[in-house]
Amino acid sequence: MIKLIASVALLAVFAAAPPPTVSEIKTPAAAGSEEPNLAVAPDGRVYLSWLEPVSPKGYALRYSVRGPQGWAAPKTIAQGTNWFVSPADFPSLAMLSDGTLAANWLVATGGPRSEAYDINVALSKDGGATWGKPIVPHRDTKKRQHGFLSWLPTSDGKLGVIWLDGRNMPSEEEGNMALMYTTIASNGTLGPEIQIDNRACECCKTAMTATPDGLIAVFRDRSDKEIRDIAVSRYASGRWSRPEDLSKDGWEIDGCPINGPAVSSNGKNVAAAWFTAPGDKPQVNVVMSTDSGKTFGKKIRVDGGNPAGRTEVVSLPSGDAVVSWIERTGQGPRLHLRRFDVNGVATAPIDVSQMGGVRSGGFPKIVLAGKDIIVTWTDSSEPSHVRTAVVSF
């Protein structure tokens, strides 16, 4: 009865609060830009990165920093003609505690019809003015898939890195995709490679977050019976725990859905969100934790009834969570965003893509910046264009 009264009271607070505002921030990304990503530095600055086509062929990885007047003039990190470009597996930035910037992208290593590629990582010690020679974090040297990287600063001043790794696959099409982990120091020194899981879903993005009690990795697992539910593993005292189901959805699918999970933390508050479709019934769910992900509450349904997934999540200091996803509507795919408290009480969905259409196969990103949520996505127009917006609750 007390919990019911509390939930009703929270619902009344949400209902009485003014509706969130959505304001576009014009980006310096050129026509044809795609695959945007967001990162927040330890000092709170927000970095936007994206890919741009360059003439006569190839791509450039560029970035911009958000200032009081919007996004600053862009800078180029690297460019190449042999990059592997995929709307589901795209570059990102990270910042070490000493101010070192890190960027990653994918380089094709096979023939014209091959999907083999390597991760390249470059470091900058001067705020992005210059970048060092690329580092390859995986050391197997096999022409297989290596990607879907997630990374973040660790408590010892390094970057913790996870990625999907095809080194154990006898061919590009067959075998088990592993989930691997290593560290990168600010001088480029690599830590030992550790296998977290020996059979992950082949091309669903990974996600990782840090809590006071250690790192948390979430990913789509793959059983021998092709059950592809979301798994969680925790890193503490130098060891990764045995992966366990975050939720027993029982989604059996003979092929990768290209629709990975998201996780975020704020102190000991953790939120994880994901797409699933057991029985061909698609849904987006979120779970929350107040003990650094050791335990999670009941899953909460997020979507409006016909989601395409592409989920992201931000954990707030209050313990609430903000979830984004793509919803299929009569007006086409729309980017929706919604805030939940730990009891499942939610605000009405916000249609962020009213600012501009969202690519149906795109993967929007969200981060917390102060009290606001920064959102980025690839506009569905032709040519494509990277867009960003601020959502203020």
Q: pLDDT > 90: what percent of the chain?
A: 86
pLDDT at 6: 45
Does 10 score more than 50 pLDDT? no
Give me the CATH number covering residue 348.
Answer: 2.120.10.10
Residues 107-120: pLDDT tens digits? Answer: 999 888 888 999 99
Mean pLDDT of 313-327: 97
The number of folded domains in the chain is 1
pLDDT at 260: 98
Q: Which domain holds residue 180?
A: 2-392
pLDDT at 354: 78
Mean pLDDT of 302-326: 97
| Of 232, 264, 310, residue with least CA distance to 36 | 310
Q: What whole-number distance in Å separates Cα of residue 343 and Cα of residue 222?
A: 30
